[in-house]
Chain A
Amino acid sequence: MIIGRVIGNLVATQKHPSYQNKKLLLVKPIDLEGREDKEAIIAVDTVDAGIGDKVLVMSEGNSTTEELGFAKRQPLRSIVIAVIDEIYSGQPEKGKGQLKE
């Protein structure tokens, strides 16, 4: 799972049936200092996340299929599976310490 920040909402009319009634979020992977990756991931929201939230993105097709209640594997990979309250990281000598929002 990777840590990301929700940067947007995505709306689509023409889409694969498995995406029907799913809320899609645009999530940028971030590192511990909050620096964003170049490419955003599109993920189905399962935890009612909003723009600006720090979230956990899980990208594994079988897990996603189960989590969303499909009987059969679907062309869906990434879901937002948790909203992160806090990240604790040791190694204060590297200037990481406890991350604060």
Chain B
Amino acid sequence: MELARVEGHVVATAKSNRLEGYKLLLVQLLEPDLRESGKYFVALDTVGAGEGEVVIIVRGSSARQSEKLSNVPTDTSIVAIVDSLVMNGKTLFKKHHQETREKAK
């Protein structure tokens, strides 16, 4: 699993039927310290992530292990939205409380 940031989304009309109804998000891979890697992927969203959010992505065959995705053709999936990231006692990232509260509503 890797950290990534949602940077946008992709619109495709001609696509596999089994991708129907799923959101395809454009994500940029982040280094563990949240530096941008410059590498972009298109990931299937399973958690309702939005633009700007830091998320966890899973690549390879594991991307289909999520219950919902057993029949969906994907090699990259978003499986979690990161609330905060602490490394060596230092908080590297913390999602704004307001955003968190809004999500909870």
- A–B direct touch, CB within 8 Å, in complex? yes
Q: A-side interface residues toward B, CB under 8 Å?
A: 1-3, 31-32, 46-49, 56, 58-64, 66-67, 79, 81-91, 96
Chain B: residues with Cβ within 8 Å of the partner, total of 32
Asked if A2 contacts B42 (CB within 8 A), the reply is yes
Given A63-B73, A81-B19, A82-B15, 7 extra CB contacts under 8 A:
A32-B26, A62-B64, A63-B74, A83-B12, A87-B26, A88-B11, A89-B7
Residues of A within 8 A of B61 (CB): 60-62
Rounded to whole Å, the gap between the CB of A69 and the closest CB of chain B is 12
Neighbouring A residues of B51 by C-beta, 8 Å: 90
Nearest-neighbor residue (CB-CB) of A89 within chain B: B8
Residues of A within 8 A of B63 (CB): 60
CB within 8 Å for A64 and B40 given contacts A81-B16, A88-B11, A90-B52: no
Whole-angstrom distance between the alpha carbons of A87 and B28 in the complex? Answer: 14
